[in-house]
Amino acid sequence: MPPAGPVDGFSYGVSRLRLRFAALVAALLVWAAPGAGQSGPRAQALCGQANAIAQDLTRISGMKLRRRVPCDFISKEKINQFLNKRVKDVASPEEIRAEELTLKKFGLVPRDFDLAKSTVELLTEQAAAFYDYNKKKLFITESTPSDTQEPVLAHELSHALADQNFNLARFIRQGRKSDDGATARLAVMEGQATWLMSEYLARKSGQSLKDSPALVAAMSNLSDSGAGQYPIYENAPLYLRRTLVFPYTKGMLFQNAVFQRDGEEGFGEVFRRAPVSTQQIVHPEKYFAGLKPTRPALPDPHLPRGYKGLVGGSLGELEHGILIEQYAGKERAAEIAPHWRGSIFELRENKKARRVVLLYAAEWDSEESARAYFAVYREALGKKWRNLAVASESADSVSGTGDDGRFLLRRDGATVTSMEGLDPAIH
């Protein structure tokens, strides 16, 4: 199960949703329609604990509680209804199609994958609570088990504290220029809230994360428990599962590393100087050093007239690690992914010809790492397509045809490039 119970409203599970579907999640957070809450004795009893928990969180973090945070209950049915409506409101069918095509082109989801439907189902199943940073109110789902309500409340109150001190709406908006950077900012928010929740619980039992690496590791690995409780999550593609839990698990370890170095100042530092990539989240030392991703040049396919850009962006270390794990296993992912330095991709479409071309480049920190990734991506081509016909192959180049057209995979120095979906008749 995802960390510390079902995830709260900040997480939305699929990386390519970061920009275009970020509005969907933001809408969930800022939604407080009349009658949405389920005020009653049970809600009042739980929410009555909020102020005391918030005061404990201020003592842990040093962040000021500037105003009380009201809370209420909400049903999963209302969340599901809202999500289905908001999908239609915030993303056009063409935008959803572009995001879905991206995942399918990289082989990260099945060919029959329905992005909007899967996202709504996954979010509905996982929703435990969310903090509305527009109305400054938090909601807890009625189905949240009683033994996890206090931790969930502490997590959402941590968001409220961060919002009162650093303006989460603005923090989110500032990260939308970069796909990978947007996920890094999400990891800041969820990682900090997970760390503060964990420290709150630890102190209640006379412990502290500050001097217990084992406790930090245990709290960050709670996603490994709860088998069978969340069938939609457990049956989702690896990509959705990894991107869903990343902000909580790796984000918490990132916040812990910053806290160990900077103490209380670290809670504000991650908002004032946000990490710019998932690589900085996974490797805090690269955040401290200010190592930024590179932007390798896309390969030039010399496409004929009629092609237009459909969607573009970047894949970070997180996504490359998932891709490698999916096609070559966890061990290879752990060996290769940390050597990522930067990437860029673009989908170009010719609607008349009914053809979509993927252009992709990934830079690595050495030729050796690039060779290793080239071999993995070569293997991925053979697994993500039903039919693969190789026309020519050398140590650093493979060309041929796949399910969606002609392809050319190359390694040049420390950069691996691929062009896929080209018209077989054009050379």
For residue 269, tell me if it sits in a domain.
yes
The overall longest dimension of the chain from CA atoms, in Å, is 71
Domain count, the chain: 2
Is 67 within the bounds of a domain?
A: yes
Parent domain of 117: 17-289
Regarding whether 145 and 220 lie in a shared domain, the answer is: yes
Pick from 76, 82, 201: nearest CA to 128: 76
> HSE of 341 in the Cβ direction (CA atoms, 13 Å)?
15
Whether 393 is covered by a domain: the verdict is yes
> Are residues 387 and 259 located together in one domain of the fold?
no
Kindly write down the DSSP assignment for every residue of 95-125, as one continuous string.
Answer: HHHHHHHHHHHTTSS-TT--HHHHHHHHHHH
Same domain? 322 vs 262: no
Per the domain annotation, does 360 fall within a domain? yes
- 269 & 369 share domain: no
What is 177-224 written as a DSSP string? Answer: T-HHHHHHHHHHHHHHHHHHHHHHHHHHTT--GGG-HHHHHHHHTGGG
Is the Cβ–Cβ distance between 344 and 298 less than 8 Å? yes
Q: Is residue 301 part of a domain?
A: no
Q: Digits of tens for pLDDT over the chain (427 positions)?
A: 334 344 454 333 333 343 334 334 433 333 333 334 445 666 677 788 889 999 999 999 999 999 999 888 888 888 888 778 777 776 788 888 998 999 999 999 999 999 888 888 888 888 788 887 778 888 888 777 777 888 999 999 999 999 999 999 899 888 877 888 989 999 999 999 999 999 999 999 999 999 999 999 988 887 555 545 789 889 999 998 898 889 999 999 999 999 999 999 999 999 999 999 999 999 999 999 999 999 999 999 999 999 999 999 999 999 999 999 999 999 999 999 999 999 999 999 999 999 999 999 999 999 999 999 999 999 999 999 999 999 999 999 999 999 999 999 999 999 999 999 999 876 5
pTM, full prediction:
0.89
What CATH number corresponds to the domain at position 317? 3.40.1000
CA distance 84 to 117: 8
Mark whether 323 and 203 lie in a shared domain.
no
359 phi/psi in degrees, rounded to 5: -110, 130
Q: Specify whether 283 is located in the same domain as 327.
A: no
Give domain status of residue 4, yes or no.
Answer: no
Domain shared by 347 and 252, yes or no: no
Are 134 and 277 in the same domain?
yes
